[in-house]
């Protein structure tokens, strides 16, 4: 494809993505479905350029104020993630000079908001919580691409065996530092071509998500509920921890998400999972299970701000108002799900948000309103689940994972035992 034709496509994709009315990954997928003829390298350049603009939107929009031509073209030139020589083939002399000048600017003297690239309502509480040094480390880490983590399905293979099979296929994978089930891959190999993947030996899952499932410590023969199961990332991990015995209910209000669990369940070999769409957390079916369940995971709907490395558009699509609405949902779901537990049962509340408001604030309010639930320090629960260096993952008794400290998505979890 001629360089200018690819840049025009990048402008078209940027126009769509920057409307911010639909998740960026859906916009990118729809764009590639429309332009079927694009090769692997062209897709990579277009998608990564769009993601770079989303990650650094304030900075790039500021820099794009100079120069000439359509704004999307200037943003594309500034954020280009394809071959640099290929890009130069598309530029006229004026554009080349402009790009060189802008790239040579010293960005360290720019205003903070142009360096952290976060909206103020998000930057401020993070700065308050983390302090200057860690705040800037976090801001930098959010602009990096997340590694590809796999969870080995121990019903089918041991971690070392899966690692060896991957190596034989030319894919280098190293054990994850904390999860005993994880492998980390650099780059994005096509896993769907591997027998190991198609036979359910591995699943793509961030190490942080693996740790959340481990916190529940689900055991053989138990009655377990994954209350917000979605497409089943954690359900599959819980089912394997239960060694395909007992009963694992996978509830969600979204039938669409539960449907996406089906092929994954089929690959996993699990037959102890019972997916069910629920209307809400107070419905009759839930009430009938009250007091009967050994372990409940509430992987609550949240702002997703811990996943900014993968979903940088979220920082522009979320708002303080949306967080307030989510808090009400989180509180109601946690209280509803807690009713299911029998005495001695374990409850885990988790989010992939970085904000205290969706995490500690919800957990502390729940603890205060439910004295029969005793908080369990997350490091103890993790150690019992054979997680190494568990102390490094916990703040004030809660699991707190940060991209800049743990190379995982940002996660929170609180654990209680019902007395």
Ligand X SMILES: C[S@@+](CC[C@H](N)C(=O)[O-])C[C@H]1O[C@@H](n2cnc3c(N)ncnc32)[C@H](O)[C@@H]1O
Q: Is 294 in the site for ligand X (CB under 6 A)?
A: no
Q: Is 206 annotated as a binding residue?
A: no
**Are the CB atoms for 401 and 411 separated by under 8 Å?**
yes
Is position 25 annotated in a ligand binding site? no
Chain centroid offset of residue 141 CA? 14
Alpha carbon distance 388, 9 (integer Å): 47
15: its two tokens:
């126009």
- By CB atoms closer than 10 A (0-12, 13-18, 19+), residue 321 is exposed
Query: Residue 54: left (phi > 0), alpha (psi -120 to 50), or beta?
Result: alpha
User: Considering the rule CB under 6 A, would residue 252 count as an interface residue with ligand X?
Assistant: yes
- CB closer to ligand X out of 178 and 251: 251
User: Is the CB of 233 or the CB of 312 nearer to ligand X?
Assistant: 233
Task: Report phi then psi at 398, rounded to 5.
Answer: -100, 145
C-alpha atoms less than 13 angstroms from C-alpha of 31 in its C-beta half-sphere: 23
What is the nearest approach in angstroms of ligand X to the Cβ of residue 102?
39
Question: Shortest approach of ligand X to residue 384 CB, angstroms?
Answer: 22
Q: Find the catalytic residue in 11, 228, 302, 352.
A: 352
Residue 231 lies near ligand X (rule: CB under 6 A): yes
Residue from 57, 234, 309, 406 touching ligand X (CB under 6 A): that is 234
Which C-beta is closer to ligand X: that of 134 or that of 253?
253
296 in Cβ contact with 338 (< 8 Å): yes
Q: Please, what is the minimum distance in Å from the beta carbon of residue 64 to ligand X?
A: 34
Q: How far is the CB of 383 from ligand X (least distance, A)?
A: 23
Binding residues for ligand X, how many (CB under 6 A)? 19
Tokens of 398: 């809660």
Residue selected from 296, 333, 381, 415 as contacting ligand X according to rule CB under 6 A: 333
Q: Which one of residues 149, 281, 360, 409 is an interface residue with ligand X (CB under 6 A)?
A: 281
| Residue from 230, 246, 306, 345 binding ligand X (CB under 6 A) | 230
Name the CA radius of gyration of the chain, rounded: 23
Q: Based on the number of CB atoms within 10 Å of its own CB, is 279 exposed (0-12), middle (13-18) or buried (19 or more)? A: exposed
Q: Which residues does 159 contact at the CB level (< 8 Å), separation at least 6?
A: 152, 175, 180, 181, 182, 183
Q: How far apart are CA 99 and CA 409, in angstroms?
A: 33
Query: What is the contact mask toward ligand X in residues 125 to 164, using x (rule: CB under 6 A)?
Result: ----------------------------------------
Q: Is 229 in the site for ligand X (CB under 6 A)?
A: yes
Quick one: 197 or 251, whose CB is closer to ligand X?
251
Within 10 Å of residue 359's Cβ, how many Cβ atoms? 26
Span 299-318, contacts to ligand X by CB under 6 A: 299, 301
Of 299 and 360, CB closest to ligand X: 299
Interface mask toward ligand X for 179-218; x: CB under 6 A:
------------------------------x---------
The verdict on 264 binding ligand X (CB under 6 A) reads no
CA distances from 331 to 74, 338, 347, 365, 382 (A): 45, 11, 14, 8, 24
Query: Of 233, 312, 403, 410, which one interacts with ligand X (CB under 6 A)?
Result: 233
Is 11 tagged catalytic?
no
In the complex, the residues that contact ligand X under the rule CB under 6 A are 209, 227-231, 233-234, 251-254, 257, 278, 280-281, 299, 301, 333
Active-site amino acid positions: 352
């Amino acid at each position: 494809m001629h360089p200018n034709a690819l840049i025009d496509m990048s402008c078209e994709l940027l126009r769509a993505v920057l409307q911010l009315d639909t998740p960026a990954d859906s916009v990118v997928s729809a764009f590639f479905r429309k332009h079927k003829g694009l090769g692997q390298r062209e897709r990579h350049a277009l998608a990564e350029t769009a993601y770079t603009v989303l990650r650094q939107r304030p900075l790039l929009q500021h820099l794009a104020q100079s120069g000439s031509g359509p704004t999307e073209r200037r943003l594309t030139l500034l954020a280009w993630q394809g071959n640099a020589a290929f890009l130069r083939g598309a530029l006229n002399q004026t554009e080349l000079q402009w790009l060189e000048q802008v790239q040579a600017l010293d960005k360290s003297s720019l205003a903070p908001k142009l360096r952290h690239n976060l909206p103020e309502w998000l930057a401020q509480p993070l700065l308050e919580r983390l302090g200057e040094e860690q705040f800037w480390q976090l801001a930098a880490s959010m602009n990096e691409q997340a590694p590809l983590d796999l969870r080995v399905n121990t019903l089918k293979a041991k971690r070392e065996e899966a690692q060896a099979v991957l190596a034989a296929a030319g894919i280098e994978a190293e054990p994850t530092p904390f999860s005993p089930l994880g492998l980390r891959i650099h780059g994005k190999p096509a896993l769907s071509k591997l027998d190991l993947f198609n036979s359910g030996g591995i699943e793509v899952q961030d190490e942080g998500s693996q740790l959340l499932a481990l916190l529940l410590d689900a055991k053989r023969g138990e009655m377990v509920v994954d209350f917000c199961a979605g497409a089943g990332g954690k359900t599959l991990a819980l089912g394997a921890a239960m060694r395909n015995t007992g009963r694992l209910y996978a509830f969600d209000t979204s039938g669409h998400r539960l449907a996406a669990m089906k092929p994954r369940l089929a690959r996993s070999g699990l037959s102890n999972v019972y997916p069910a769409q629920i209307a809400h957390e107070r419905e009759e079916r839930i009430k009938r299970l009250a007091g009967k369940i050994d372990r409940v995971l509430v992987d609550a709907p949240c702002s997703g701000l811990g996943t900014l490395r993968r979903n940088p558009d979220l920082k522009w699509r979320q708002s303080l108002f949306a967080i307030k609405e989510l808090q009400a949902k989180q509180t109601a779901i946690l209280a509803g799900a807690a009713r299911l537990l029998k005495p001695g049962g374990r409850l885990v509340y988790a989010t992939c948000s970085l904000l205290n408001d969706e995490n500690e604030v919800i957990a502390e309010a729940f603890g205060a309103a439910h004295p029969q639930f005793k908080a369990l320090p997350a490091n103890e629960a993790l150690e019992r689940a054979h997680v190494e260096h568990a102390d490094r993952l916990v703040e004030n008794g809660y699991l707190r994972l940060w991209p800049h400290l743990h190379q995982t998505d940002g996660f929170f979890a609180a654990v209680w035992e019902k007395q």
